[in-house]
């Protein structure tokens, strides 16, 4: 499979616990995005990497959230001290270097987080 992959697909945790999600982008893509999606809504932007550099963070990304992309390949998103309001689908997308002004973002299957 040469698409974007995410692990785990589902995570159930208790309030106050820490969780970490992983995203593996399409191999030749240098841009990686994290989004969050709640039921009935469109995805909302969280943060964006170009190679290993984190270029933008949304105001949705509170200080309990941290994302890394240490070698410019896979990325991790950690949520500390989870709250019930963190329950959502966490989506990762990647885009490449076509030379166009904008590259298509391709999404992974998402990680469904449920905080009890």
Partner 1 sequence: GESVGLHLPTLSVQEGDNSIINCAYSNSASDYFIWYKQESGKGPQFIIDIRSNMDKRQGQRVTVLLNKTVKHLSLQIAATQPGDSAVYFCAETRGQNALNFGKGTSLLVTP
The residues of the shown chain that bind partner 1, judged by CB under 8 A, are: 4, 6, 31, 33, 35, 40-45, 48, 50, 56, 58, 91, 93, 95, 101-110, 112
CB of 56 to partner 1, least distance (A): 7
The DSSP-derived string for 30-63 is -EEEEEEE-TTS--EEEEEEETTEEEEE-TTS-T
CB of 16 to partner 1, least distance (A): 27
Closest to 85 in 3D by CA, of 110, 115, 60, 59: 115
- Name which of 44 and 83 has its Cβ closer to partner 1: 44
Lookup: tokens for 58: 């949304």
CB of 57 to partner 1, least distance (A): 10
Closest to 80 in 3D by CA, of 19, 35, 34, 21: 19
- Name which of 60 and 116 has its Cβ closer to partner 1: 60
CB of 43 to partner 1, least distance (A): 5
- Name which of 23 and 115 has its Cβ closer to partner 1: 23
The dihedral sign for the CA sequence 26, 32, 38, 40: negative
């Amino acid at each position: 499979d040469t698409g974007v992959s995410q692990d785990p697909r589902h995570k159930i945790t208790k309030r106050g616990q820490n969780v970490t999600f992983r995203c593996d982008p399409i191999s030749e893509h240098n841009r990686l995005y994290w989004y969050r999606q709640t039921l009935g809504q469109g995805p909302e932007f969280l943060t964006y990497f170009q190679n290993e550099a984190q270029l933008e963070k949304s105001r949705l990304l509170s200080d309990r959230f941290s994302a890394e992309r240490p070698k410019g390949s896979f990325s991790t998103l950690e949520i500390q001290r989870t709250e019930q309001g963190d329950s959502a689908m966490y989506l990762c997308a990647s885009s490449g270097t076509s030379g166009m002004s904008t590259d298509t973002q391709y999404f992974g299957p998402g990680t469904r987080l449920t905080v009890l």
